Amino acid sequence: MAQILSPLPGTFYRSASPDQPPYKADGDAVSAGDVIGLIEVMKSFHEVRAETAGTNIRFLADNEDPIMAGAPIADLD
């Protein structure tokens, strides 16, 4: 099992905008380089990408959660 950690502190978003579906749903497979969410830091937005491929992503952080750098965002099998 692998974990995806937040590279930055800020607010975590699971989709590109409120009217878009989430980048990934729980249970989805993930390829290395896939965008799995956004972190908003001081009004600028940064994509979070998976560093390794995996199956069955399970999000630990909810949409709009405040998050610290290094905190786990999701588990991957």
Q: How far is CA 33 from the centre of its chain?
A: 12
Applying CB under 8 A, does 5 fall inside the site for another protein? no
Applying CB under 8 A, does 16 fall inside the site for another protein? no
Q: Which is nearer to another protein, 17 or 44 (CB)?
A: 44
Strand partners, 67: 10
Would you state the structure tokens that stand for residue 64, as one six-digit string? 């709009």
Is 55 in a helix, a strand, or coil?
Answer: coil
Site string for another protein, 29-58 (x = CB under 8 A): -----------xxxxx--------------
Would you state the structure tokens that stand for residue 63, as one six-digit string? 């949409």
Applying CB under 8 A, does 10 fall inside the site for another protein? yes
Would you state the structure tokens that stand for residue 72, as one six-digit string? 């786990």
- Residues near another protein (CB under 8 A) are 8-11, 40-44, 64, 66
